[in-house]
């Protein structure tokens, strides 16, 4: 076999024309989303006040296996996709491992992450429906940047609620989101009822994704012609993000490779769900049996220590109820630097697959994650986002196991984005002032005790 | 003809195996570098105290047309190259121009710019010679980051003198350079004699590239086993950067295109010299006649308002003398946000070509540059560095001329890097607090009056 190139780019012709809907191949579907008032499965129409119609349809469509990517979105994708599949030759050498390590690198666009894949889709459908504007939340700021880019492209006004601790840690995120004409509000804020309530109860809170979601949803449903969009967790987002996995699989096929292990970081699940989609399909259909690993922060361990239960997607309890691995919607994670992974819940699709034994999960404290990030940066000339570095940590540990066992496994991981806006975190790590935090069992029990009570269900 | 793809990547096989030395095809060579003590042309040996031997040779080699790229450097290049040649379809649409606009995008590596192309070469030769460490200066921080990456790869200690105003404007640059284990010192500093002298004369100075060069050179020549390296201006740097132009030309050939206009930003000339190299060759050999445009800041207009004269490359007057377009080595440019373009001089190769009429130059005030940067970011999903945005401004104005004349010209410009570390500048632009500054004729005359006197020459 010819030497495998360092970086493989598909041609435009090889890029996916359809997204892949994992639910169509699941043996058992995730439990349905429930209307929080009736505790009955939410209908498409019930979602219309919050989501635009096409996206509400995608959210509930469990049967369509492949969804055509609209031409306009395909054209936009071509501006920054295909993303490269990179062989980590130098990392392999540094680890002295027989493993072959590949990573799918999604950081080559100004949002700095994979988030743009779903942002442009959601902005497209909003524009198509003739909406006047959108609202959203952002944690680390990558989703906010991506959606600002997408909305600017379609001249759609956008209000972004940014988790207050990230807003303060990352002033430049504000500038870049404003460069794309979006309005940005630190959350919790006084601009919504739910924000005022949360601030009254806890004036010093630095916010959370769950809390910013509540504010963004309230703002959308109370503003004429506005809808709410979300960058993770939802089924529709995993659908759009399947472009990551589909491209990866095609590229690996060209190299005559198939992953033994697929590793992704998991906050709400957007990247992981997208990356693993076609490999999980093979697993569901009995065609292959790759090991699939979700990596999460030990400070916010929804899969590894959470409950599989119905919960709100937000802190303010305004969203429908989803059955997922959750730490409880009132759980406020510590100020871990991987803001994009500080979410109490997890994609219902991934939660179900994990529950049914199709994937594994592992958690790391952040100092171990940054150790991997710095090693990776030095070897591969890419400075990873703290979120992405969780996947790097997981992949490195699998490669080390290969060294110990002498097995030349093929490892694929998702490098979701770049860390240019996270230099405060890198500084803390380099200066030795980074602290690790792991919630105690008591803290988690206290949060679980506040899970919603649903008659006949939980 | 099939539709031209948005982004063209060469295969690894199509990547250049040799750098191209423009001097070998110049009708008249640039005037020789002079030893500042004897006013005689500097010999290779005279450069050894400052530069490592292979680089000193490349600096003075006017005859070798093509220089083999060492295998190891070719391998490193494959980690982040080839860089894409991108068709700016959306920008064209936004400008409603018949022009076809292409840009060569060098920002897809952690240094965030083209600087890594020469950094890895210089670190390689230093390692090969068994040096103990390197010193350098950095303005905006891109060169410092690139060299830190390259030195970290070869485990070579590195000290970076960073222009004080950039050091203060961009605290995260410090973190990223430290991530790659380099030591960083704001310049002017008390760590060198020349730094102490400059501070004594002007305690409030915010520094300049010329001043940081003086410090880095002094540190190198006074530290055992250390040499100095420079990220621009020098012939050797233009040689390494020719990889940009060579890749661009091959990619355009695949698309059956040839540029009518080539536009690059110009600080010391590293990007511009690399980008234009093979097109300038065609021009020198009479094979084609593209219009070649250097774009510089109006606040530091070395080509458009400077003198073509022998001058020091640094403020402290410790380097050899080069004949180039210069504002005088004591000229301290205003605190323009494009730190990488704040240099008093210009590559002697480019200076000679400009002097002999082979290229044009234009200058812009920074608010006009940021206007172009924001337009570009919104259309093309890449947030450009302020330096790179000068080339965007130039390309946009050429495309607008095409609209007026109805000519469908092919425009190629160099997008040298990303602006993630320049968000203060974007904020200033967005908030309307950005000021433009153009030196008066009197200020320039005062600086010219301090050009060195060289018996029999000037």
Average pLDDT over residues B427-455: 95
pLDDT cut 70: percent of chain A above it: 99
Strands (E), A337-387: 360-364
pLDDT at A58: 98
**pLDDT tens by residue, A64-111:** 999 999 999 999 999 999 999 999 999 999 999 999 999 999 998 888
pLDDT band of B39, cuts 50, 70, 90 = very high
Cα–Cα distances (Å) from B223 to A117, B143, B158, B219, in that order, read 51, 21, 12, 6
- The pLDDT tens digits of the residues spanning B209-264 come to 888 999 999 999 999 999 999 999 999 999 999 999 999 999 999 999 999 999 99
Tokens standing for B123?
A: 């670190």
SS3 B130: coil
| Per-residue pLDDT tens digits for B375-420 | 999 999 899 999 999 999 999 999 999 999 999 999 999 999 999 8
In the predicted model, is pLDDT for residue A135 greater than 60? yes
- pLDDT for the residue A395: 98
Examine the pLDDT at B118 and tell me if it is beyond 80: yes
| Chain B residues inside the 8 Å CB shell of A432 | none
Rg (CA), chain A: 20
Tokens 């989101």: give the residue. Answer: A177
Which letter does DSSP use for residue B26 in this model? -
Q: What is the pLDDT of residue A1?
A: 41
Chain B residue closest in CA terms to A10: B9
| Cα angle value B192/B194/B199 (rounded, 5°) | 95
Partners of residue A89 in chain B, C-beta under 8 Å: 79
Which has the closest alpha carbon to A396: A112, A124, A155, A94?
A94
Please, are residues B85 and B102 in contact by the beta-carbon 8 Å criterion?
yes
Q: Is the dihedral of CA A292, A298, A304, A306 positive or negative?
A: negative
Q: What is the pLDDT of residue A110?
A: 80
Q: Dmax of chain B from CA atoms?
A: 65
B16's tokens: 């250049």
pLDDT band of residue B3 (cuts 50, 70, 90) is: low
Strand, helix or coil at B103?
Answer: strand
Q: What is the mean pLDDT of residues B128-144?
A: 94
Q: Which two tokens stand for residue B316?
A: 């402290």
pLDDT tens string A11-33: 999 999 999 999 999 999 999 99
Q: What is the reported pLDDT for B139? A: 84
Other residues' Cβ atoms within 10 Å of the Cβ of residue B317: 16
Q: How far is CA B175 from CA A175, A385, B7, in A?
A: 20, 14, 32
Query: In the structure, what pLDDT confidence band is assigned to residue B128 with cuts at 50, 70 and 90?
Result: very high
* Rg value, chain B, Cα: 20
pLDDT of residue B1: 40
Among the listed ranges A301-315, A327-341, A375-389, B406-420, which one has the minimum average pLDDT value? A327-341
Look at residue A181 and tell me whether its pLDDT is greater than 60: yes
Q: Cβ of A121: how many Cβ atoms within 10 Å?
A: 29
Report yes or no for ipTM above 0.85.
yes
- CB-CB contact of B383 with B420 (8 Å): yes
Q: Which residues of B touch A112 (CB under 8 A)?
A: 420
Q: Do A110 and B381 count as a contact with CB atoms less than 8 A apart? A: yes
* Out of A247-261, A327-341, B435-449, least confident range: A327-341
Task: Report which DSSP code applies to A4.
Answer: P
Long-range CB pairs of B216-219 (<8 Å, 24+ gap) are B216/B135, B216/B136, B216/B137, B216/B159, B216/B160, B216/B161, B217/B50, B217/B135, B217/B314, B217/B316, B217/B318, B217/B319, B218/B192, B218/B193, B218/B194, B218/B316, B218/B318, B219/B135, B219/B159, B219/B161, B219/B191, B219/B192
Q: What is the mean pLDDT of residues B114-119?
A: 97
A-chain residues near B112 (CB < 8 A): 420
Q: Confidence band (pLDDT; 50, 70, 90) for A3?
A: low
- In tens, the pLDDT along A356-373 reads 999 999 999 999 999 999
Interface test with A, best of B8, B420, B424 (most A CBs within 10 A): B420
CB spacing of A5 vs B78 below 8 angstroms: yes
Q: What is the pLDDT of residues B333-364, one digit of tens each?
A: 887 788 788 899 999 999 999 999 999 999 99
Mean pLDDT, chain A, rounded, equals 94
Query: Sign (positive/negative) of CA torsion A229, A230, A236, A238?
Result: positive
Element (H, E) at A185: strand A183-187
Q: How confident is the model at residue B125 (pLDDT cuts 50, 70, 90)?
A: very high
According to the model, what pLDDT value does residue A274 have? Answer: 98
Nearest to B109 among A175, A381, A430 (CB): A381
Chain A residues inside the 8 Å CB shell of B426 = 175-176, 179
Closest CB to A175 among B78, B153, B423: B423
DSSP A11-38: -GGGS-SEEE-GGGG-SSPPPPPB-TTT
- In this predicted structure, what is the pLDDT of residue A281? 98
Q: Give residue-wise pLDDT tens across range B45-79.
A: 999 999 999 999 999 999 999 999 999 999 999 99
C-alpha distances (whole Å) from B403 to each of A185, A443, B394, B397, B406 are: 40, 65, 14, 10, 5
DSSP B58-81: HHH--S-SEEEPPHHHHHHHHHH-
Burial class (CB in 10 A: 0-12, 13-18, 19+), B12: middle
Q: Are B273 and B352 in contact (CB under 8 A)?
A: no
- Is the Cβ pair A176, B5 closer than 8 Å? no
- Bond from prior residue into B188 cis (ω within 30 degrees of 0): yes
Q: How does pLDDT run across A296-321, given as a tens digit for each residue?
A: 999 999 999 999 999 999 888 989 99
For the residues A124-142, what does the mean pLDDT come to?
Answer: 95
The beta-carbon neighbor of B383 closest among A116, A179, A430 is: A179
Could you tell me which residues are beta bridge partners of residue B439? none
* Summary mean pLDDT of chain B: 94
């Amino acid at each position: 076999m010819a030497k495998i190139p360092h970086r493989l780019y598909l041609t435009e012709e090889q890029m996916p024309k359809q997204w892949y809907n994992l639910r169509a191949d699941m043996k058992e579907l995730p439990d349905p989303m429930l209307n929080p008032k009736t505790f009955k499965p939410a209908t498409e129409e019930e979602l219309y006040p919050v989501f635009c119609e096409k996206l509400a349809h995608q959210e509930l469509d469990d049967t369509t296996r492949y969804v055509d990517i609209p031409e306009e979105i395909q054209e936009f994708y071509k501006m920054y996709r295909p993303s490269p599949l990179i062989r980590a030759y130098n990392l392999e050498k540094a680890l002295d491992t027989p493993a072959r390590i590949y990573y799918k690198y999604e950081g080559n666009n100004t949002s700095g992450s994979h988030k743009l894949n779903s942002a442009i889709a959601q902005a497209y459908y909003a524009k198509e429906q003739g909406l006047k504007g959108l609202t959203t939340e952002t944690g680390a700021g990558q989703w906010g940047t991506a959606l600002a880019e997408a909305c600017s492209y379609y001249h759609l006004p956008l209000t972004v609620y940014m988790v207050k601790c990230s807003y303060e840690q990352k002033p430049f995120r504000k500038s870049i989101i404003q460069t794309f004409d979006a309005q940005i509000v630190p959350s919790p804020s006084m601009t919504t009822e739910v924000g005022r309530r949360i601030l009254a109860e806890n004036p010093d809170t630095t916010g959370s994704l769950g809390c910013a979601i509540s504010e963004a949803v309230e703002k959308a449903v109370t503003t004429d012609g506005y809808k709410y969009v979300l960058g993770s967790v939802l089924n529709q987002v995993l659908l759009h993000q399947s472009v990551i996995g589909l491209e990866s699989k095609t590229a690996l096929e060209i190299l005559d490779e198939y992953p033994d292990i697929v590793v992704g970081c998991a906050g709400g699940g957007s990247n992981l769900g997208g990356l693993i989609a076609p490999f999980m399909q093979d697993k569901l259909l009995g065609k292959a049996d790759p090991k699939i690993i979700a990596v999460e922060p030990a400070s916010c361990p929804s899969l590894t220590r959470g409950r599989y239960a119905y919960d709100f997607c937000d802190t303010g309890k305004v969203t429908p109820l989803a059955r997922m691995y959750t730490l409880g919607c009132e759980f406020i994670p510590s100020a871990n630097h991987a803001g994009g992974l500080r979410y109490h819940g997890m994609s219902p699709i991934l939660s179900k697959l994990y529950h049914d034994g199709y994937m594994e999960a592992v958690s790391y404290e952040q100092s171990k994650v940054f150790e991997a990030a710095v090693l990776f940066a030095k070897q591969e000339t890419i400075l990873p986002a703290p979120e992405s570095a969780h996947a790097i940590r997981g992949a490195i540990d699998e490669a080390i196991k290969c060294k110990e066992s002498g097995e030349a496994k093929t490892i694929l991981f998702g490098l979701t984005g770049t860390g240019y806006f996270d230099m405060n975190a890198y500084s803390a790590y380099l200066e030795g002032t980074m602290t690790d935090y792991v919630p105690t069992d008591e803290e988690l029990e206290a949060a679980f005790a506040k899970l919603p009570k649903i008659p006949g269900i939980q």
